[in-house]
């Protein structure tokens, strides 16, 4: 009989982490009014979480092996739950920003270790495949449920409620994980931690985030770009010369691997960049209340499970290349539809089909990109390949929110800015179409 207990316990934590990527989007207008902050600060509220999440993902594998996946998962759970409480009580924007950074740190510890614990809990190949499939589906459900849940909670309580809701989830997950999930032994012989590489990666991501968001400060903008370039070059040199790199550069000898992680980056950049702006568009331009704006973008998520399911089927009949191409083509058509609807200020009913296209197309791409990244490296490197892909996806989300949010902020009107941002997303997805044939 299939033992669902470890999977249920671990998916509680994974669901909580993924939902926090999208649950904030519909609440940021209420947050803006309450804290009296502008669009650039709202970008930081979203991107602070993604910053530490993406910067620390690759390092979690080391700590998981060194100290035990179960212990690191529980630590991540405690940090994430505590940070959620701090977000909920945040009296100032700076306090909230620090709490969101801490949330991302907890998320980075949770996600890779949850998959490691699933691998350890299900030794049978059929059971493991089923468990991983359910684990992956949870991400799609959480992303789909986030905006709607955020809209309901913000309407009934306030924006603070979207963070407080994590606390009962965290407590239940901690108890169930402690009771139902096995504890793999740590590997004390693990190589030395790549401290310098981690420092350079955090500096480069933080500097890039600042440069993309804070465009109004010209002097600090130049300094941020210089810091980004220097720290990125330092990261490459460190990974090349160190004996135990967090990101082995030999992975990039494979063209298939390079293309797959670029696809993951572009996909999240276009998708989450629009997901950040659309709720604000419905609230500011269409004058929708928060609850209605959350429901308005819900068609974006309706076909996410279907797209993920059909992607595997199409890969078997055609190829990874054509699966990625089809997904980007459908998503691009959806974005073109969104642009037309916004430009000519059409009724909401004309939004539905483009949103369905974008949701289905983007969910169609990700399984193919994942398989491409894993197939393009040696079997012993699949873990780091998967981790790199997830890191690039998170970076894509960060850049998408920062870049498209800034484009909107510096435009002459919010409506025009959203149009420019949609054009940017269309260009992003067209590049994805071109990459699919490489």
Radius of gyration of the chain (CA): 21
Sign of the CA dihedral with 124 first, then 15, 397, and 341 last: positive
Structural domain spans, the chain: 1-182, 194-243, 252-438
How far, in Å, CA of 266 to CA of 396, rounded? Answer: 6
Tokens, residue 167: 């606390």
How far, in Å, CA of 406 to CA of 123, rounded? Answer: 48
**C-alpha distance across the termini of the chain, in Å:** 45
Q: How many residues does the chain have?
A: 438
Of 86, 259, 240, 276, residue with least CA distance to 167: 86
Q: Could you tell me the CATH superfamily of domain 252-438?
A: MFS general substrate transporter like domains (1.20.1250.20)
> How far, in Å, are 108, 273, 378, 387 from residue 373 at the CA level?
20, 23, 10, 10
pLDDT at 332: 97
Please name the residues in contact with 130: beta carbons below 8 A apart, sequence gap of 6 or more. 2, 122
pLDDT at 128: 75
Please name the residues in contact with 219: beta carbons below 8 A apart, sequence gap of 6 or more. none
How far, in Å, CA of 28 to CA of 48, rounded? Answer: 14
pLDDT at 188: 64
pLDDT at 190: 60
Please check whether residue 320 is in contact with residue 367, taking contact to mean a CB–CB distance below 8 angstroms: no
Q: At what angle do helices 349-375 and 382-410 cross, to 10 degrees?
A: 150
Mean pLDDT by groups of 10 residues along the chain of 438 residues: 84 86 84 89 92 89 84 95 96 96 94 83 77 74 81 92 92 93 77 88 93 83 94 95 89 90 94 91 92 89 80 82 93 97 94 94 86 80 79 92 92 93 96 90
Please check whether residue 77 is in contact with residue 16, taking contact to mean a CB–CB distance below 8 angstroms: no
Please check whether residue 57 is in contact with residue 112, taking contact to mean a CB–CB distance below 8 angstroms: yes
Tokens, residue 158: 């306030």
DSSP 8-state code for residue 186:
P
Report the SS3 class of residue 189.
coil
Of 358, 301, 349, 309, residue with least CA distance to 329: 358
CATH topology of domain 1-182: Growth Hormone; Chain: A; (1.20.1250)
How far, in Å, CA of 379 to CA of 74, rounded? Answer: 28
Of 411, 384, 50, residue with least CA distance to 202: 50
Does the fold of domain 252-438 match that of domain 1-182? yes
């Amino acid at each position: 009989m299939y033992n669902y207990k470890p999977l249920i316990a671990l998916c509680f934590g994974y669901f909580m982490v993924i939902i926090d990527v999208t649950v904030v989007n519909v609440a940021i207008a209420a947050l803006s009014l309450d804290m009296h902050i502008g669009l650039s600060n709202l970008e930081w509220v979203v991107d602070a979480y993604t910053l530490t999440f993406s910067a620390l993902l690759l390092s979690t594998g080391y700590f998981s092996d060194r100290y035990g996946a179960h212990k690191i998962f529980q630590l991540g759970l405690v940090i994430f739950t505590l940070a959620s409480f701090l977000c909920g009580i945040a009296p100032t924007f700076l306090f909230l920003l620090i709490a969101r950074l801490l949330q991302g740190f907890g998320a980075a510890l949770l996600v890779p270790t949850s998959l490691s614990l699933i691998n350890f809990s299900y030794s049978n190949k059929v059971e493991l495949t089923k468990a991983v499939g359910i684990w992956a589906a949870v991400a799609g459900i959480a992303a789909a449920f986030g905006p709607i849940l955020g809209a309901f909670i913000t309407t009934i309580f306030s924006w603070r409620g979207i963070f407080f809701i994590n606390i009962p989830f965290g407590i239940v997950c901690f108890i169930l994980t402690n009771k139902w999930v096995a504890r793999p032994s740590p590997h004390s012989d693990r190589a030395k931690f790549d401290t310098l590489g981690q420092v350079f990666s955090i500096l480069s991501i933080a500097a890039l985030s600042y440069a993309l968001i804070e465009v109004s400060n010209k002097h600090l903008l130049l300094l941020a770009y210089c810091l980004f370039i220097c720290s990125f070059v330092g990261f490459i040199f460190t990974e090349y010369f160190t004996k135990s790199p967090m990101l082995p550069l030999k992975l990039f000898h494979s063209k298939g691997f390079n293309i797959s992680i670029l696809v993951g980056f572009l996909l999240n950049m276009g998708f989450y960049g629009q997901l950040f702006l659309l709720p604000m568009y419905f609230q500011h331009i269409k004058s929708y209340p928060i609850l209605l704006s959350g429901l308005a973008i819900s068609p974006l998520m309706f076909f996410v499970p279907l797209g993920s399911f059909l992607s595997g089927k199409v890969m078997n009949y055609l190829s990874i290349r054509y699966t990625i191409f089809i997904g980007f083509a459908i998503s691009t058509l959806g974005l073109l539809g969104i642009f037309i609807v916004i430009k000519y200020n059409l009724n909401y009913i004309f939004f539905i089909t483009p949103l369905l296209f974008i949701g289905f197309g983007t969910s169609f791409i990700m399984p193919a990109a994942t398989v491409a990244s894993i197939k393009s490296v040696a079997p012993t490197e699949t873990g780091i390949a998967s981790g790199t892909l997830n890191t690039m996806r998170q970076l894509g989300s960060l850049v998408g929110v920062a870049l498209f949010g800034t484009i909107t902020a510096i435009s002459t009107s919010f409506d025009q800015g959203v149009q420019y941002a949609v054009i940017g997303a269309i260009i992003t997805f067209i590049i994805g179409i071109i990459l699919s044939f490489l």
